[in-house]
A and B are shown apart, each in its own frame.
Chain A
Amino acid sequence: MSLFRTKDWWRASVAGEEGEETECDGLAFCAANLDNDPSGSLKLAVGTLGGILRVYAPREPETTGADPQQGPSSHANSEDSIIEVQLEHPILQLEAGYFSPDYDTCLAVLHPRLLRVYALHKSGSAQDLQEVTLQKLYEHKLERSAANMCSGPFGRASTDLDTTECDAICVQSLDGQLSIFEQSSFAFSRFLGNFVVPGPLRYCKGLDMFFTVNSSYEVECYKYQTLTSATLSDNSKKDESSLKALGENNSFKHGKKLEANWRFVLGEGCVDIQCSRFTRGLKKAWTDDVIILGERTLFVLSSEGECKLQKRLEYPPTCLAVYPSKLGEQGAACNIMVATSTGYLMVYDSERLIWSARHDMVPVSVKVLTFGDLGGLVTTLDDKGALAVSYMGTDPPTQVVSIAGEEQLNFEEMESEHRQLLNVIRQHATQKPSEPVDILMLRAQIPQYMKALGEGEYGGSRGGYDLEDELGGRHSKAVVGKIFLNYSGISDITDVSISVDVPEPIVAEAEPSHISCIKGGSSGRQTPIVIQLKLFPGTHCLPSDRTLNVSASYQTPSGEPRISHCEVQLPLCLFGTLVSPVKNATYKLTLDTNKDAPQLVNVFEDIFASCQDNYFEMNSNVNVMSFKYFSGEIVTTIVSKNAGRYRIQSDCNGAMWLILQELKERLAAYYAAADQEGGEGLQISLSDNVPLEILFECIDKHFNSVEYVNKLHSDLELHGRRFRAVQKRFLVRFKDRRPEPLSHLEALLDDTYDNIIDCCVRIDETTADMMDRARDIVHNCHLFLSLLQCQFNLTEKQIHFLKKFLNPQVEHSQGGFIWEEYTEAALSYLLKAHLSKSQKDTISFGGVSKMTSTAKLKKLISTMVERFSRGITLRLPS
Chain B
Amino acid sequence: MDPLWLAQSKYRRRKYQECVEICTENLHRNPYDESFWYLKCRALTAIDWLDDIELDDDTLGDQLLDENAIAQMPRPGTSMNRPATGMSTAAGQLRTRTGRPVSSTGRPVSGFARPTSSALRQGTSLERALGTAGGRRMMTARPVTGSGRYVRLGTASMLEHCGDSFIDSDKIDIRKYAKKPGLARALGDYMLYVDHNPKRALELCSHSTKLTDYRDWWWKERLGKCYYQLGMFRDAEKQFLSSQKNCCTVLATLDLCKVYMKMDQPLKALEAFEKSLEKHKHSISLILGMSRCHDSVNNIEEALTLYKQVVQLEPSNVEALACLANDHFYNDQPEIALRYYRRLLQMGVNNAEIWNNVALCCFYSSQYDMTIHCFEKALALAVDEGMADVWYNVGHIAIAIGDIGLAYQAFKIAVSVDANHAESYNNLGVLELKRGSFEQARSNFQVAERIAPHLHEPKYNSALIAFDAGDYEESVEMANNSLEAFPEHEDSKDLLQQLDKILSLL
Interface set of A (CB-CB < 8 Å, partner B): 1-3, 25-26, 49, 90, 92, 112, 145-147, 174, 194-198, 214-217, 265, 267, 269, 271, 295-297, 307, 309-312, 316, 318, 341, 350-353, 356, 358, 364, 383, 396-397, 400-401, 403-405, 422, 425, 844
Contacts and interface: CB of A to CB of B under 8 A. Distances in A.
A26, A265, A356: most-surrounded residue (chain B CB, <10 A): A265
A403 B221 contact: no
Nearest to B442: A844
Contacts of B318: 1
A174 B5 contact: yes
A847 B215 CA distance: 66
A352 B314 contact: yes
B94 interface: no
9 contacts: A145-B5, A197-B4, A215-B183, A215-B185, A216-B181, A296-B51, A310-B283, A351-B283, A353-B316
B182 A214 contact: yes
Given A1-B348, A267-B218, A353-B315, A197 B35 contact: yes
A312 B283 contact: yes
Nearest to B313: A352
A197 B345 CA distance: 44
A366 B361 CA distance: 41
A493 to B, nearest CB: 26
Contact of A425 (B38, B250, B315, B409): B409
B373 interface: yes
A319 to B, nearest CB: 9
Contacts of B315: 353
A3 B346 contact: yes
Interface stretch (B7-15, B75-83, B105-113, B490-498): B7-15
Contacts of B254: 312
Interface of B: 1-2, 4-6, 8-9, 12-14, 34-35, 38-39, 42, 46, 51, 181-186, 216-218, 221, 247, 249-251, 254, 280-285, 313-316, 318, 343-350, 370, 373-374, 376-377, 405, 409, 471
B250 A216 contact: no
A137 B51 CA distance: 50
Interface of B is mostly: helix
The 4 closest A-B pairs by CB, nearest first: A196-B182, A351-B282, A267-B218, A145-B2
Contacts of A174: 2, 4-5, 35
Given A215-B38, A216-B184, A310 B9 contact: no
Given A1-B349, A92-B5, A267-B251, A351 B13 contact: no
Contacts of A318: 13-14
B183 A196 contact: yes
Contacts of A271: 12
B12 A265 contact: no
B16 to A, nearest CB: 11
Contacts of A2: 316, 347-348
A293 to B, nearest CB: 12
B182 A215 contact: yes
Given A25-B13, A92-B5, A1 B313 contact: no
A197 B9 CA distance: 12
B247 A383 contact: no
A316 B316 contact: no
A358 B280 CA distance: 28
Nearest to B373: A403
Contacts of B370: 403
A422 B405 contact: yes
A106 to B, nearest CB: 24
Contact of B285 (A25, A312, A341, A403): A312
A217 B187 CA distance: 12
Contact of A1 (B186, B217, B347): B347
B182 A216 contact: yes
Given A196-B34, A403-B374, A352 B343 contact: no
B346 to A, nearest CB: 5
Given A145-B2, A267-B251, A3 B313 contact: no
Given A145-B5, A216-B182, 10 more contacts: A3-B347, A215-B182, A216-B185, A217-B218, A267-B185, A309-B280, A310-B250, A312-B254, A353-B315, A403-B377
Contacts of B5: 92, 112, 145-147, 174
Given A3-B346, A404-B377, A312 B14 contact: no
B282 A350 contact: yes
B490 to A, nearest CB: 28
A707 B450 CA distance: 28
Contacts of B221: 267
B405 to A, nearest CB: 7
Contacts of A352: 282, 313-314
A3 B13 contact: no
Contacts of A383: 13
A60 B348 CA distance: 31
Contacts of A269: 42
Nearest to A341: B14
Nearest to B471: A844
A870 to B, nearest CB: 29
A400 B254 CA distance: 38
A351 B374 CA distance: 37
B14 A3 contact: no
Given A312-B250, A404-B376, A358 B182 contact: no
A197 B12 contact: no
Given A265-B247, A312-B250, A401 B346 contact: yes
Contacts of A1: 316, 318, 344, 347-349
A269 B185 CA distance: 10
A407 to B, nearest CB: 12
B231 to A, nearest CB: 13
A197 B343 CA distance: 45
Given A174-B2, A174-B35, A196-B38, A351 B316 contact: no
B143 to A, nearest CB: 18
B249 A310 contact: yes
Contacts of B1: 49, 90, 112
Contacts of A195: 182
B181, B254, B370: most-surrounded residue (chain A CB, <10 A): B181
A422 B183 CA distance: 70
Contacts of B345: 401
Nearest to A425: B409
Contacts of A215: 38, 182-183, 185-186
Contacts of A145: 2, 4-5
B20 to A, nearest CB: 15
B385 to A, nearest CB: 23
A53 to B, nearest CB: 16
B247 A194 contact: no
Contacts of A3: 316, 343, 346-347
A316 B284 CA distance: 17
A401 B370 CA distance: 13
Nearest to A196: B182
A351 B312 CA distance: 11
Contacts of A217: 185, 218
Contacts of B373: 403-405
A844 B350 CA distance: 50
Nearest to A1: B347
B378 to A, nearest CB: 11
Nearest to A350: B282
B251 A297 contact: yes
B316 A364 contact: no
A318 B6 CA distance: 17
A272 to B, nearest CB: 9
Contact of A356 (B316, B405, B471): B316
A197 B249 contact: no
Given A265-B216, A312-B283, A197 B251 contact: no
B38 A197 contact: yes
A25 B38 contact: no
Nearest to A145: B2
A318 to B, nearest CB: 7
A147 B471 CA distance: 85
